[in-house]
Chain A
């Protein structure tokens, strides 16, 4: 059974636009301008990029915790479940994006500026993750407006999940000596 169109962002529709236009009388020049992606495609790509960045940050902090001594090594028990949830977020977001053959839709979204690096030290890294989670939850809520219903629900749910990570990181930070 085919998937419901409302559950996915269909890039293919946008990709068809030049062919509709060329059937008029503009000629080949029309084909030279690729269509802009739909707003919900852009926001979905932003959400995907944000999850990828969060996964990178968690991986960095977990790697540092693994080589550290003392209580920092026990951080894995707290952080790995959160990392697993971010991976689930990413997989679910990617499943909503249909990429037509030959498109470059899977390419990384350019950031307006380079994301802040994870500060050195396990304690600072955990504090950084806590702030990043709070920011991510806020950003996810800001993506609701203008999004299709099913995508808005997914954003709201992921944002709620990220908000629940903050108290976990607060508790983890308290266990790690600065």
Chain B
């Protein structure tokens, strides 16, 4: 991100939400990687490192805005038990979906550089998720409520 970034509360909140999602992803990939082998483990390791880089970047941005970055929790409640490779892959998909949603929060901000960064991260997350899922989706990161068809005025 470059240029002047606002330290408005909404900006800080969105950056902290993205950081929190990255903390969870770093933790989650650590769990998932323990159940994977071979190429899938290598992919998980690469993604884990990528999330660490993104986490560090978000922390630096927050500090530059005078905000204290949200700290990682000691442990995270996983969305579902992880006991084998299949469940580890499912966890990776969920982590990426949550990451994409969090970065869409940055896209909603008016600052151009944050918006661009958020969109790039949504794209990166969607690519990782598609790799884990083995398929694509039409609206990465978008919640059902965000996609609900607006009602016509009567």
Contacts and interface: CB of A to CB of B under 8 A. Distances in A.
Helix, strand, loop or mixed for chain A's interface? helix
A85 B137 contact: yes
Interface residues of B, number: 35
A161 B104 contact: no
Contact of A154 (B118, B120, B136, B142): B142
B107 interface: yes
Helix, strand, loop or mixed for chain B's interface? helix
Contacts of B131: 167
Contacts of A81: 135-136
Given A3-B150, A161-B140, A156 B119 contact: yes
A78 to B, nearest CB: 10
A152 to B, nearest CB: 5
Interface stretch (A27-35, A66-74, A112-120, A142-150): A142-150
Nearest to B129: A164
Nearest to A143: B119
Given A88-B139, A153-B108, A156-B118, A161 B126 contact: yes
Nearest to A140: B119
Interface of A: 1-4, 7-8, 81-82, 84-85, 88-89, 92, 95-96, 137, 141, 144-145, 149-150, 152-161, 163-165, 167-168
Interface of B: 100, 104, 107-110, 112, 115-116, 118-120, 122-123, 125-127, 129-131, 135-142, 146-147, 149-153
